[in-house]
C-alpha cells in the first residue's frame, strides 16, 4: 500500500512540474510576443535557403552555400516557444520603414523561419533575450543593420583599410573607377503588370580587382525590382580606382532606374 502511495505521489510530482514548466513557457512566450512581435530585428548571420536553424547557444546549424552572402532584417509576425524550441517567423524587409498600419513598407520575401533548438526550457524572459541577442541585434539603434546587404563570400581585402569614399576622389592622387561592363537589370513581371517604376538606390564597394564585392540597398522599390537590380550589379565590372597608380577599394552610391518605355 505504501509503495502504491509513493508511486501516486511521484506521478503527482511529475504532473505538477510538467504543468509548471508548461506555464512558465507560456508566460515567457507571451512576454516575447509583447516585446518583439511586430518589430524589426536584424540578423547577425547571413540568410540561407529554407529554414534558418540555430543551436541552444545561438550558433547557426545551417550555412549558406551561395557565392554571395545576404544579410538583413526580419519583421517578426509570430513567436512560438516550447520546451525544446523557439521559433520566430516573418518577412524579410527592404528597410525598416512602416506604413500607416505599422507594417513594413517593402517586403522582399514572403516568409523567413528562424528555428532555435533548445537543450533545456527557457524559464525567464532574460534567458530568452540573452539567447536572441546572440542571433539578432536587439537594440533598436541597430535598425540600420536591417537594410539588405549582399557580400561576396570569396572577397578578402588586401589590407584592413576601409574602402575609400567617392567624395575623396580628386584628392591625394585618387582617381575614380571606370565602368567597363554594366548590364541593365530586367523588369520583374509583377512590376511590369502593375506599370510600376522608380529608382533603387544602392551603396556598393568596388574592390581592387574592379569587381563589386558589397551591395547595400539604401532605398528599395519592392515588387521584385530590388532583387533584379542586385542580380545585375553583381555582374558589373570596373577598372578599379587608384591612388598614385595603385588600385584601391572604393565605396560609392549608385542609382538603378526602372522605366517602362
Per-residue pLDDT tens over the stretch 25-63? 578 999 999 999 999 999 999 998 889 999 999 999 988
| DSSP-derived secondary structure letter, 245 | T
Residue 11 has pLDDT above 60, yes or no: no
Confidence at residue 8, expressed as pLDDT on a 0 to 100 scale: 47
Distance CA 189, CA 173 (A): 45
Residue 182 has pLDDT above 70, yes or no: yes
Q: Which residues of the chain form beta strands (DSSP E)?
A: 40-43, 52-54, 68-71, 73-75, 78-81, 85-93, 107-117, 136-137, 149-152, 164-165, 174-175, 178-181, 198-206, 212-219, 237-239, 241-243, 246-248, 250-258
Residues contacting 95, CB < 8 A, separation 6+: 105, 106, 146, 147, 148, 217, 218, 219, 220
* Mean pLDDT of the region 154-160: 67
Greater model confidence, 174 or 116:
116
Residue 15 has pLDDT above 50, yes or no: no
Residue 80: pLDDT band with limits 50, 70, 90: very high
The string of pLDDT tens digits covering residues 133-152 is: 999 999 877 778 888 999 99
Q: How far is CA 69 from CA 31, 45, 65, 148, 190, in A?
A: 32, 9, 8, 10, 25
Residue 12 has pLDDT above 60, yes or no: no
- Percent of the chain whose predicted confidence (pLDDT) is above 70: 79
Residue 161: pLDDT band with limits 50, 70, 90: low
Confidence at residue 6, expressed as pLDDT on a 0 to 100 scale: 46
Confidence at residue 14, expressed as pLDDT on a 0 to 100 scale: 44
Residue 66 has pLDDT above 60, yes or no: yes
Distance CA 49, CA 18 (A): 36
The string of pLDDT tens digits covering residues 206-250 is: 999 999 999 999 888 888 899 999 999 999 999 999 888 889 888
Confidence at residue 57, expressed as pLDDT on a 0 to 100 scale: 95
Confidence at residue 163, expressed as pLDDT on a 0 to 100 scale: 77
In the three-class reduction of DSSP (H, G, I as helix; E, B as strand; rest coil), residue 49 is classed as: coil
Q: Mean pLDDT of all residues in the chain?
A: 83
Asked if 253 contacts 201 with a C-beta cutoff of 8 angstroms, the reply is yes
Amino acid at each position: 500500500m505504501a509503495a502504491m502511495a509513493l508511486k501516486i505521489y511521484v506521478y503527482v510530482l511529475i504532473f505538477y512540474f510538467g504543468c509548471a514548466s508548461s506555464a512558465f513557457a507560456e508566460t515567457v512566450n507571451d512576454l516575447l510576443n509583447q516585446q518583439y512581435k511586430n518589430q524589426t530585428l536584424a540578423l547577425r548571420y547571413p540568410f540561407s535557403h529554407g529554414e534558418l536553424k540555430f543551436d541552444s547557444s545561438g550558433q547557426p546549424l545551417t550555412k549558406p552555400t551561395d557565392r554571395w552572402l545576404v544579410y538583413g532584417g526580419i519583421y517578426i509576425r509570430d513567436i512560438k516557444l516550447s520546451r525544446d524550441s523557439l521559433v520566430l517567423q516573418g518577412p524579410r524587409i527592404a528597410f525598416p520603414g512602416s506604413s500607416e498600419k505599422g507594417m513594413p513598407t517593402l517586403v522582399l520575401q514572403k516568409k523567413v523561419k528562424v528555428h532555435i533548438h533548445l537543450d533545456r526550457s527557457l524559464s525567464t524572459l532574460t534567458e530568452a533575450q540573452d539567447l536572441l541577442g546572440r542571433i539578432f541585434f536587439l537594440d533598436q539603434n541597430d535598425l540600420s543593420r536591417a537594410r539588405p546587404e549582399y557580400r561576396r563570400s570569396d572577397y578578402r581585402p588586401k589590407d584592413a583599410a576601409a574602402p575609400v569614399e567617392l567624395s575623396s576622389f580628386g584628392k591625394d592622387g585618387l582617381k575614380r573607377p571606370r565602368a567597363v561592363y554594366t548590364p541593365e537589370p530586367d523588369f520583374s513581371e509583377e512590376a511590369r503588370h502593375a506599370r510600376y517604376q522608380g529608382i533603387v538606390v544602392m551603396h556598393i564597394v568596388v574592390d581592387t580587382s574592379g569587381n563589386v564585392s558589397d551591395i547595400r540597398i539604401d532605398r528599395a522599390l519592392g515588387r521584385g525590382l530590388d532583387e533584379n537590380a542586385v542580380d545585375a550589379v553583381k555582374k558589373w565590372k570596373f577598372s578599379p580606382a587608384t591612388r598614385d597608380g595603385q588600385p584601391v577599394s572604393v565605396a560609392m552610391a549608385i542609382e538603378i532606374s526602372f522605366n517602362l518605355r
